[in-house]
């Protein structure tokens, strides 16, 4: 199963609403996770089951979608949210990540 993400990068301002899309090459139901990675740090789990927020993750993050098309939304971008975001399919034992979306400051 291949994952694509769009856009590959975006520039946004604090307070903006940001949407990142992940598309799977075949249906994966809701078996999708989202991660945030900051430079020099390990990825951090944000969302699993396509829309379930991991404990401790701010509510401005939300996920949606099922099947092949998924979305990560940040409702009001904060300074600490500038990072790269990856989706990951959890549908098969052969795990795969999307190529990432870098969110930087406009």
Partner 1 sequence: QVQLQESGPGLVKPSQTLSLTCTVSGGSISSGGYYWSWIRQHPGKGLEWIGYIYYSGSTYYNPSLKSRVTISVDTSKNQFSLKLSSVTAADTAVYYCARDGRYCSSTSCYYPLDYWGQGTLVTVSS
Residues that bind partner 1 (CB under 8 A): 29-31, 33, 35, 37, 41-45, 48-49, 52, 54, 86, 88, 90, 93-100
Q: Which is nearer to partner 1, 16 or 99 (CB)?
A: 99
Sign of CA dihedral 76, 70, 7, 58: positive
* CB of residue 85 to partner 1, shortest distance in Å: 11
**CA neighbor of 88 nearest in space, from 78, 74, 100, 106:** 100
Please give the Cα distance from 27 to 38 (Å, whole number): 29
Q: Which is nearer to partner 1, 7 or 76 (CB)?
A: 7
């Amino acid at each position: 199963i291949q994952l694509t993400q769009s856009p590959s990068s975006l520039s946004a301002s604090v307070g903006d609403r940001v949407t990142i899309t992940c598309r799977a090459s075949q249906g994966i139901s809701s078996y999708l996770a989202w991660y945030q990675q900051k430079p020099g740090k390990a990825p951090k789990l944000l969302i699993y089951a396509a829309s379930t927020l991991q404990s401790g993750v701010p509510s401005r993050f939300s996920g949606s979608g099922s099947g092949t098309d998924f979305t990560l939304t940040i409702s009001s971008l904060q300074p600490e949210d500038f990072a790269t975001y990856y989706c990951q399919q959890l549908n098969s034992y052969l795990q795969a990540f999307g190529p990432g979306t870098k969110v930087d400051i406009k």
